[in-house]
Amino acid sequence: MRNLKEFELPKSLSPSELETVERVITNVLLSKETARALYPNASEDEVQKNGSGVYFTMNEVLEQPSESRVILASNNLLIPLWNIAESDRVHGKHWPYGRGVFINNNYTLAVYVNVLDHIRVVTCASHSNIGNLGLIYSRLCRLMAILDRDLEFSFDERLGYLSCRPTMLGCGLRFTLTLKCPNLLKEPDNLLSLCSVRTLSYSRNSNCPDVFKVANRVSVGVTELQCFQDFSTAVANILQLEKDMSMTNSLHIAAMFLNIFKKRRSTYANNE
């Protein structure tokens, strides 16, 4: 999440201010520089021909039926839009005017404009590279390098980048990964403790008993790179533990790893 320094949050903007923010951001998103950043292996002719992507207004997203919403939903890029009767309580009285979403050409990245925050970037793995966190992170970094160069964002030395959601203060980066670990889920309390020690949030889908989701809980006081590295390491630990358990078919390994993480946490606390 990012917000432009010279403007209030979208909920408080006038129609003309919403238009200005939308125009400034989309000019960057639809530029050749953004196309080169999103498709580093594309030739100059391909960049010139295909551009960076397509921008849809929020009216186009919310209409019935909506081609853009189908694209977003089918590629895991759709976020809650809270298009309810009392939307002004969430978005301000001018919703959905001056809002929209940019979608790149291969449907792996979307940028929501003036939806709660001025900019919200959502990116995910392609269907051919499921779970490739490095690819996702590098794509995001290339885009943010262009946005940081051309736009000035609200930033506080202590809190980091400012957002309408306090949970997104700091680097404003949130990773979410769906994992299938049937062995670890035999002891859900241990798994929950393991995630907690590694500062991961943990949630389960009642319709898929072998599947759960993890996300990073810390974004304040860390850089984007550190956030990515910490999350990747934590997930790698969980996957290695699941692999070991599948090979030994024993739950004592889970307890062993859990004790290791608890000892680390205790050591950190004593050092403080």
Q: Is 4 annotated as a binding residue?
A: no
Q: Is 217 annotated as a binding residue?
A: no
Q: Is 267 annotated as a binding residue?
A: no
Structure tokens at 250: 């024993």
Q: Taking the alpha carbons of 163, 176, 220, 33 in that order, is the dihedral positive or negative?
A: negative
Q: Is 120 annotated as a binding residue?
A: yes
User: Could you give the count of Cα atoms lying within 13 Å of 247 in the half-sphere of its Cβ?
Assistant: 7
Please give the DSSP secondary-structure letter assigned to residue 166: G
Helix-helix angle 252-271:188-197, to 10 degrees? 30
Which residue do the tokens 């202590």 mark?
158
Q: Is 233 annotated as a binding residue?
A: no
Round to whole Å and give the CA distance between 154 and 193.
35
Q: Taking every pair of C-alpha atoms in the chain, what is the biggest distance, in angstroms?
A: 64
The type of residue at 163 is S
User: Could you give the count of Cα atoms lying within 13 Å of 220 in the half-sphere of its Cβ?
Assistant: 11
Please give the DSSP secondary-structure letter assigned to residue 127: T
Structure tokens at 76: 């895991």
β-bridge mates for residue 176, sequence order: 215
**Nearest-10 Cα torsion for 258, 259, 262, 266:** -170
Q: Is 199 annotated as a binding residue?
A: yes
Q: Where are the alpha helices (DSSP H) in the chain?
A: 15-29, 32-38, 44-50, 58-62, 67-74, 88-91, 133-150, 188-197, 224-248, 252-271
Binding residues: 120, 174-178, 198-203
Which residue numbers belong to the known binding site for ATP? Answer: 120, 174-178, 198-203
